[in-house]
Amino acid sequence: MWRQFPRPPITHWNYKAGFLSKHAETPADLYAKAGIYAEFGKIVCISVGCLQKQAQSGTEQFFLRSFYGVNERDLLGAFAEVARKWGLKSQFLCGHNIREFDVPFICRRMMVHGIPLPPLLDLAGAKPWEVRHLDTLQHWKFGDYKHYTSLRLLADLFGIPSPKDDIDGSQVASVYYQEGDLVRIARYCEKDVVTVLRLVQAMRGESPLADEQLVYKN
C-alpha cells in the first residue's frame, strides 16, 4: 500500500549544502538550488509531445500534452501510464539532457511515491543499444564531455525561436510558490518540448514543423 513519505528534514539539506558551498555560503544561501535535486525537489509539470503522420493526408502533426498540478503523485502516475503505452509501441524518448537530469529525476520521484517505473524510463542493467533515448545534448557533444551546451544556445545557433521568451528554469519555483500559476509553467515546458523537436529536425537537415502542425491536447 502506498503511503506519503515525509519530506527530508532541514538537517539533510544542511549536510548537502556543506558539499556545495564554495565561498562560505550558508545552507539558506544555497536553498534556491535544492529543487534541482530529486531528494529535495518536487515535480509540478511534465510536458510531452508525440510526432505522428496522418494516414489520409500524409502530413505530420505534433501532439502536445502537459501533466501538471499540486499533487505530484497524481501527475507522475498519469505520466507513467502514457510512458508505458509508448514503450509498448517501441517509440523513442527524446529530450535535452534527459539522460543526466530529466529521466533520473523523474524515476527517483516515482520511486518515492511507490510508482512502478515504466520500461521506457527504467534503464537499470540496460545495454547501450537497448536504451531508446535520443538526448540532443549527448548528440551535440559527439563524445566530448568537457562542457555543457544549453538548449537556448543551440536554439539560437540553429535559428529556432527561444523557449525562454517568458520564463526560464530558474524562475519556475517563484512562479509556482509565489504566483501559483501552473498553466504558465506548463506553457513554458511545452515550448521546451517544441524546441527540442525543431532542434532534432534541424540536426537532421529537415524542415521544422510549422506552428499550425502543433496540436495541444490539454
**Residues 25-66 pLDDT 10s:** 888 887 888 888 899 999 999 999 998 887 777 788 999 999
pTM score, two decimals?
0.87
pLDDT in tens, 197-213: 999 999 999 988 889 99
Domain 70-208: give its CATH superfamily.
Ribonuclease H-like superfamily/Ribonuclease H (3.30.420.10)
Phi, psi of 33 (to 5 degrees): -90, -5
Domain boundaries along the sequence of the chain: 10-41, 70-208
End-to-end CA distance of the chain: 31
Best CA proximity match to 75, nearest among 93, 52, 98, 48? 48
Matching residue, cell 502506498: 2
CA–CA gap between residue 1 and residue 143 (Å, rounded): 44
DSSP 176: I
Residue 2 C-beta-side C-alpha neighbours within 13 Å:
11
